[in-house]
Structure 1
């Protein structure tokens, strides 16, 4: 009796897990399989009879068996539980999209899932080879493995799918070539293989057999040779994307048979010849075509322009002839980019009249005639870029009413007349570039309404009249260049309110009066050029408080009085006060022969600079000579001591020059305006601006006023010390040789310029261009970091990326820097960035067979790519990782390594903080939050560059494109129909050259 009572109690108190049906129990085991930080499984209640109401679970309404599991975006981590999933016999839909599933898929994992129709494992961490057995799932229609780390070749079994309609293998590590057997999957509608490191190979002609195909996406698949004619048989194709490959030859005329195609993307290949002249009229569905960045010649087909296009991108080719008038008839056209071609004739007069045009860039062509009046007819135009043409006439009044505009570039044309009054005050315009035309008239007072204006460039025109006080309302203005015009009157007093101003250039005008009070508020000004005007009064002492000013030219005016001693606080790269009416003593810092040209033409100045007094009256000469005689007599007492010191100095030259001048060997890489002796004479401790274990860096001001930086390496340099061959046990002192070999042959605006090198047996000197703002790291992580606002930081990232892209892609053979870090990015007076310090740079193996193995780790802590640290194999991906760390520094303002991170570095700290606290705890608090969207985008690029797997890091050329896209705010192409991700659609803007504007 007691036994039966106990058994009854046991049944009553038994865990309710037994209430679940069999599939519920399986799902509970699957739940235990995963880490679930976001509590995705929080409503999976064990007390339920079936799992049909659980989150992510769908059941058949009659049998209540599980038919669908959708765990998309659940932030789950763990191995893929195939052995459990396949026990649910009616399961036909599985999605683990965008999680952290991290196992391999074995050949037997999915064989039992015979009911499976839809399998989405995209954006996870799966590794290993593609499982060939997945082709045995006879009902499978949808297979997306995008964004994982699958490697190896595509299995031959993939050609045997029976019902497959979608195959997505984008962004994996697949090699081999694209196999021809994929042409056997007759049911296929989408084939997406982009962004895989395939071996160079052709597009299989057999893909033309896929007559049901709607999307063919083979972007960046290392494709070569010609586009096969067979693709013209894909009658249902709507999207053809073959961009970013090495395709050559002409565009086959058979592509005009794609009568259903909506979008064709062939940009960034090596296609040549002419666009097919005929057949376009059949492509009535075509809306977007991009064949930019190729080598196309000939004219733009009239038939193509008669289509109802939305986007036409033909930029960076060699196209010529006219732009057909019919392009203006399209009612859908929102984007037209034709820059950097040889197009002629006039722009269609009705362009923009019939469609909501957003982006127009026809820069760097030979267009003539007037600017079309209807460009902003629909009121949505964002960019009008037309620089470097031969346009004539006036700016249409309608552009002055286009309040949507944010960038206007009309420089280097033959335009004339006055500027429409409304154009000056457009509220969203950030860049107004009108330089090198024949515009006249005044700056209208309406300019006070241009609240977003950051660059106002009016140079080399015929503007006149006063500069209005309203210009002081432009709180975001970074640059005002109005040189070589006819502006008159005094500078407006409110111009000192421009606290963000970095450049003010008004030389060669007719300005008069005194400089306004309050110049000290220009804390970010680095260039002030007011030369050749009629300005008068004293030079304000406040100029000396402008800590980042490095270009000061007040020559050719009527300034009088003394030169303020406060100017000695400045670190000037360009300094000119000549041809004024200054008098009194020259500040001691500038009372040197090297600055003589800065003071010529000021009769009241003399000092001790030889030759400065030439041209003064005889009486003045006599008085000066009397003073000199008195000083000479007083100095006779010291002559013996001076002579003794001089000879002592000559006898022990190592104190200053290390060795006798006669033993120096000079090797120059540019035309020099100085000798090695002038460099040697300046190498004293007063000129040291930096030091390290490799030696010292000196700032040397030359007699011609130019400034250079000299790196002196003594004996075994730091670089040599770091280059110990662990196999041979000797020291490879190749740091100096590497730097000379690398920089001596490089010519790029974002690579530091090596003027020359001087050598003796035990001392080596490298003479570089001088960078007034020093290393990025020193400035970014100091109390002066506030000088680096977001536009400047973006510009630095852009410049450095272009420099590295030049090394990786334009040097033959490519060069790997191996020590990319913030302090090896130097900043000029305008905060332009130069990549420097090539002491450990290496040339990549020209045969392209992979990374080169090094015998020692070169680089700096916090910047070294993880695979480099344990494989010692170096290629461009190592630099890209280091550059990604620099980007994270720019966005966060933090050091690459810091005790605050614990055992982490900056990369891991950013990832962890983003996950736990969000973006606001990552971005540098000193940066203006109005740039938050752009900062987030740049941060994402940094994270992409620092991907743990090298293959997932973009090339430097792609990094440049992504940064340019952010700077321009261009349209993003939503590729969700391909892989569910937002993929940037990059454009090259010839009119920008990578500027932040």
Structure 2
């Protein structure tokens, strides 16, 4: 698939206009405009002026994980120790008003401890209690062995009677899916989406290559990506994760496929063989979701648009890339950068795992895309500003005549 594209530029909403407060039917779509080679070749399509250069993101991460601290041992888990009585008090007896999420393992509640600290408490589903026995132990052991800024941190757990609870850090800014839906009052601009993609890639790279044992998440999706107040992404919910060896090509043969429809690796579904490339596939689907704003499966849309990855691939091949931009991105995005991200998402979501890149390579490619994006936007800022100035002068001359 060709990487080159005609020189189109559509600057992201972080640089030219405020985000929408909510998703609406009359949301203005991003506008495709040709990149001017000179001021005189600038298109007649209006472009909002921008002042100043785009600074490097405060969320900067290295191109690949460097040295990380040694993972804590299982017997050292638990900076938070709670009894069931204390848990009931902290969650107001598992009040629905404190419920902040739902996953394969169970329900997640926001809880405030006696010392004022806010945590998240995940409660195993009662109806699946016996089936979740091994998954509870699996999640505890996994979370105990990992420590990375893009992964949710384990603080403690409770395993008593018919209750199994996991206590983790509270990530206050909701899920990625909620932000794509505009639930939190403002949309994600293109820069934020790129930074979030990098964060997720590095979190998964750590699981695959830098943890004490290789970990396959198995349920990478937008509702399992939590955002901090600074819009830093953290991967959560390891209830379906598997521990493997660090050998290249390590494969797990499972008796049951687990994950979420739309994100599931088709090769894993067909062969029951699980590898880190299954997470790579899910990430590819997630990256398309981040760019388009659409869920992996849109059941209310027409048959040709229901499966987002197929719809996106068809649009891309037909040269209709402007239709793939999330309508919430009012204004525009640099098309060359957008196309590079789409290319990468399609590579990750290749039908066969042999055609997919390793997660570490994905993170490094995203980092390279980010640097190109910053350079291109910084280059375009003075051009757009001067173009607007000239257009204003022309309008004044027309008015005088």
Structure 1 and Structure 2 fold alike (TM over 0.5): yes
1:888 alignment partner, SS class: helix
Equivalence map 1:440-589=2 (5 Å): 451-454=52-55
In the TM superposition, residue 671 of structure 1 has moved relative to its aligned partner by 3.2
Determine if contact 2:103/2:237 at 8 Å carries over to the other structure: no
Deviations 1:396-449 (A, max 9, x none): xxxxxxxxxxxxxxxxxxxxxxxxxxxxxxxxxxxxxxxxxxxxxxxxxxxxx9
Change (3 A) 1:941 1:675: same
1:787 alignment partner, SS class: coil
In the TM superposition, residue 810 of structure 1 has moved relative to its aligned partner by 0.7
Deviations 1:737-780 (A, max 9, x none): 11101111111111100100011121111111111122212331
C-alpha distance in structure 2 between counterparts of 1:683 and 1:759, whole Å:
17
C-alpha distance in structure 2 between counterparts of 1:750 and 1:953, whole Å:
22
Aligned to 1:710: 121
C-alpha distance in structure 1 between counterparts of 2:253 and 2:114, whole Å:
46
- For residue 327 of structure 2, the aligned residue among 925, 932, 936 is 925
Determine if contact 1:786/1:926 at 8 Å carries over to the other structure: no
In the TM superposition, residue 782 of structure 1 has moved relative to its aligned partner by 4.3
Determine if contact 1:770/1:828 at 8 Å carries over to the other structure: no
Change (3 A) 1:906 1:694: same
Determine if contact 1:758/1:764 at 8 Å carries over to the other structure: yes
C-alpha distance in structure 1 between counterparts of 2:150 and 2:86, whole Å:
27
In the TM superposition, residue 918 of structure 1 has moved relative to its aligned partner by 1.3
2:133 alignment partner, SS class: coil
Aligned to 1:671: 79
Deviations 1:563-619 (A, max 9, x none): xxxxxxxxxxxxxxxxxxxxxxxxxxxxxxxxxxxxxxxxxxxxxxxxxxxxxxxxx
C-alpha distance in structure 2 between counterparts of 1:758 and 1:751, whole Å:
21
C-alpha distance in structure 2 between counterparts of 1:948 and 1:883, whole Å:
13
In the TM superposition, residue 785 of structure 1 has moved relative to its aligned partner by 7.3
Is structure 2 residue 311 aligned with structure 1 residue 906? no
Deviations 1:435-472 (A, max 9, x none): xxxxxxxxxxxxxx9612436xxxxxxxxxxxxxxxxx
1:911 alignment partner, SS class: helix
Is structure 2 residue 207 aligned with structure 1 residue 787? no
5+ long unaligned stretches in structure 2: 3-49, 60-73, 376-401
Structure with a larger share of its residues in strand: 1
5+ long unaligned stretches in structure 1: 1-72, 74-97, 99-448, 456-477, 480-501, 503-665, 721-730, 973-997
Aligned to 1:954: 357
- For residue 165 of structure 2, the aligned residue among 765, 782, 807 is 765
Aligned to 2:380: none
TM-score using structure 1 length: 0.29
Change (3 A) 1:760 1:671: closer
Aligned to 2:24: none
TM-score using structure 2 length: 0.70
Structure having the higher Rg: 1
**Alignment RMSD (CA, Å):** 2.9
C-alpha distance in structure 2 between counterparts of 1:925 and 1:755, whole Å:
39
Is structure 2 residue 108 aligned with structure 1 residue 701? no
C-alpha distance in structure 1 between counterparts of 2:309 and 2:333, whole Å:
24
Change (3 A) 1:909 1:836: same
How many residues matched? Answer: 307
Determine if contact 2:207/2:215 at 8 Å carries over to the other structure: yes
Q: Which structure has the higher relative contact order (CA within 8 Å, separation 6+)? A: 2
Determine if contact 1:818/1:879 at 8 Å carries over to the other structure: yes
Change (3 A) 1:964 1:706: same
C-alpha distance in structure 2 between counterparts of 1:708 and 1:732, whole Å:
22
Structure with a larger share of its residues in helix: 2
Deviations 1:899-936 (A, max 9, x none): 21526522111111222351101111222414433222
Deviations 1:13-48 (A, max 9, x none): xxxxxxxxxxxxxxxxxxxxxxxxxxxxxxxxxxxx
Change (3 A) 1:669 1:931: farther
Change (3 A) 1:920 1:948: same
Determine if contact 1:818/1:859 at 8 Å carries over to the other structure: yes
